[in-house]
Chains A and B, each alone.
Chain A
Amino acid sequence: MTTRIPDAGMLNARPFNVRLFNAGTLPLVATLAIFALAYAVCVVQFPAMLSTRVAANLLTDNAFLGIVAVGMTFVILSGGIDLSVGSVIAFTGVLLAVLIGRAGVHPLVAFALALAVATAGGAVMGAMIHHLEMPPFIVTLAGMFLARGMAFVLTTDSLPVEHAFYATLQQLYWRLPGGGRLTLIAGVMVAVTVAGIILAHRTRFGANVYALGGNRTSAALMGVPVGATTIAVYALSGFTAGLAGIVFSLYTSAGYPLAAVGVELDAIAAVVIGGTLLTGGAGFVAGTFVGVLMQGLIQTYIVFDGTLSSWWTKIVIGALLFGFIVQQRALVWLSARRPSAGSAT
């Protein structure tokens, strides 16, 4: 009997179905491949799109979205959702404009304050979700109303921000050959993404987030601090939303209560396009980054085309989105076909 124990080991040693890449990273690979393909197609049609200018703009113009999407990725990985981010961006912008413009606070101080407020707001929502056991959807929807409402109370009009420091920050860019400029905020976005990747895949917190998304009760039974993690996740999302707000206010040097309407949906879309499951537990921050660029690319393509009416614009955006998703599905499906259990549905 005992002689056969190693034998059993041998049996199991047969690497269970062998494949090109592990099903986990597959959506990411697919997303990347398709983005590359899409960009190539664009360039073929409009050679001008190859310029460093366009590439750099892609980063700069989507910086705030990219940043907020990183936070959103964590929320979605944990099996939740955060609808408040768009409003928080607007609120932060207005708050900064008021603090700097009216109260004459130095921008850096204002930044710190804004980040603190946004993070705290996120934490509060997380606490409500955990302790009141209420669906994230409603809690963050309330947050969405509140943040924009506060923005309106601060000002209904749009406030410009004139401050030497802002000007200098905006002038901070690295001119690429070919007229492109890698701006500060683009740098911030990339930095946040990298930080997100590390946080997600290289820390205990990250693992706990995935655990939560996988199965709350199991996670609890494995000793994951569910409450603390939930709160931390929404605090993080609040923080990135605040940071995105700062970036947006640098981007437009103004605070506007109607800014960033519907950004939450763009962010969620970017995350999901990036291959993260909305049900939580599976996905990649890197994928989100590509998802953001993908959306930016679609916008740029439309503008370059320049012949589309308002309605055709919408239709084409949808069509491109569809084409992209379907290709992604196809790729994943083709190489993810497994003979064994688990792929039941």
Chain B
Amino acid sequence: MALDKYGIAKRIAQELQDGMYVNLGIGIPTLVANYVPQSITVIFQSENGILGMGPYPTEAEVDADLINAGKETVTLIKGAALFDSAESFAMIRAGKIDLTVLGAMEVSENGDIANWKIPGKMVKGMGGAMDLVASAKNIIVAMMHTNPKGESKLLPVCTLPITGLCCVKKIITDLAVLEITADGFLLKEKAPGVSVDEIKSKTLGKLICPPNVPDIQI
């Protein structure tokens, strides 16, 4: 059965390692913070100026002066640091963030990503996405395998305006875990009960299927 968004977030949380500094995009990526293993410490960055973002506040803790990049009220963990936007993107640009998790509209088989603009629709802007994808050492895309029309979001080349070139390292969808390789999308894991044929049929870009593809364990 395909994973739901919580399942995708749980699988991504398995990528976390102790001591990592992590930037989570809006949407499914934000959910990853809920599944950090108890045994490790992960520091979340928010690009509006937080290192050490904590969970949402209780009603009593709500502070209008403290929001995340999604403009939601948040809290700080002990040992948090605050800074301005210029400093925040300086650390992003300098490659200090260990892991970046983003949503996407399309990913190409060489790791290009499109996630900011649909021609003909109101363009809201790229926010910090272009900065993140241009500099992050390790980018995981969290998304559904297909768009609402059922069309593959894993393509030979992006059809939408791109956000960045050759930057995605791994994709975790409702159906599969895939790595970007020199030869295309490498199928690493599949959702339990989902067939490799279904993944093949929903992946338009070049897909490499090893003989045995293990199930995602969550």
Do A and B interact? Answer: no
Q: A residues bordering B, Cβ < 8 Å?
A: none
Q: B residues bordering A, Cβ < 8 Å?
A: none
